[in-house]
Amino acid sequence: MPEGPSVRKFHHLVSPFVGQQVVKTGGSSKKLNPTSFQSLWLQDTQVHGKKLFLRFDPDEETVSLGNSPLSEPLRKGEQKDKARHHQEASDQSSRSPGGDSAVPSGDDGLQCLAGDSPAGGAERWLQVRFGLFGSIWVNEFSRAKKANKRGDWRDPIPRLVLHFSGSGFLAFYNCQMTWRISSPVFSPASDILSEKFHRGQALEALGREQPVCYTLLDQRYFSGLGNIIKNEALFRAGIHPLSPGSLLGLPRLEALVDHVAAFSADWLLGKFQGTQQHTQIYQKEQCPSGHPVVREALGPPGGFQRLTWWCPQCQPRLSAGEPKQVQPS
């Protein structure tokens, strides 16, 4: 699943379409009928961790800016200017977007509508959750990069295609879409890409007895953090993924949070600059020092197991009974 930096980039790509009307639809979605978007106006776009939210309305009289769920009336002819200003707000929101609320990992605690179209009178907020290879393409379609298992070179089929009155279009791939019954309201405290990210809350969560690799993926405290960021931050901090947080001293936990924030910010910057993010341990056979890397699926008992890479020499494991480790000066 795309992590926070990738979803922020998707948010940036969608933002220029705010203030435009859907004039043509397509796609393979069975849960949502693509034709239900016909003639709707895209009024706002927001980002929440690994999720994207799009607000649609049957008329053009209200458009929201940035991450505010409120809308303001517009006079006719102002939509283009408002969309331009929204793009500027989007650039700012990529540095300080909203975060997850305090709910269990993987659940934002917000209700969604059943069915394939928004209910009459309800705010039309579309929630988009991306799959492993989920993406958004602008004014072009994704093309096959290699043959499938049958040897066919078949292009991916978009889940949803929205053509807008400004002549451009958006194509959504490998994603789950549902209508919400309320506007998204977020706290930035848990968002790893927000200037208001609450380090104290994150450190308190990491200090628990459970392995730190479990806590890092908890979206209540690290919204937008996924498997790549987890692996890279742990390696750069020199911490074994199964080390209980309670055995790590505060300086080491602070260093881990620092690496989470730094790697995420660098990744986001690379997304906008069109550069490939450099990884040191994720999917590697050797660490930068030449040591063999171990790969194993790790996760809480009964929970989802995620492939994890670590270097036993650079990331020694701690066990119960050992004194807390302190970051060397």
Give the 3-state secondary structure of residue 295.
Answer: strand
Cα gap 234→245, rounded to integer Å: 12
> Which residue ranges of the chain lie beneath pLDDT 50?
64-112, 114, 328-329
Q: What is the pLDDT of residues 109-158, one digit of tens each?
A: 344 454 555 555 555 899 999 998 899 999 999 988 887 777 788 888 99
Report the pLDDT value the prediction gives residue 324, as an integer from 0 to 100: 57
Q: Angle 4-14/79-93 helices, nearest 10 degrees?
A: 170
DSSP summary character for residue 298 = E
Cα gap 106→49, rounded to integer Å: 10
Phi, psi of 232 (to 5 degrees): -70, -40
Contact 270, 277 (CB under 8 A): yes
- Supply the residues annotated as catalytic: 2-3, 50, 306
Q: What is the pLDDT of residues 305-325, one digit of tens each?
A: 999 999 999 999 986 655 555
Cα gap 249→111, rounded to integer Å: 39
Cα gap 221→207, rounded to integer Å: 12
Cα gap 127→165, rounded to integer Å: 22
Phi, psi of 223 (to 5 degrees): -65, 125
Report the pLDDT value the prediction gives residue 184, as an integer from 0 to 100: 82
Beta-carbon contacts of 238 under 8 Å, excluding residues fewer than 6 positions away, are: 314, 315
For 168-189, b where at least 16 C-beta lie within 10 A, e where not — what string? ebbbbbbbebbbbeebbebebb
Beta strands 124-138; 169-180: pairing state: antiparallel
DSSP summary character for residue 219 = T
Phi, psi of 309 (to 5 degrees): -115, 135
Three-class SS of 221-241: CCECCCHHHHHHHHHHHCCCC
CA dihedral 31, 32, 35, 39 (to 10 degrees): 170
Cα gap 285→291, rounded to integer Å: 8
Report the pLDDT value the prediction gives residue 297, as an integer from 0 to 100: 97
Contact 46, 99 (CB under 8 A): no
Contact 259, 215 (CB under 8 A): no
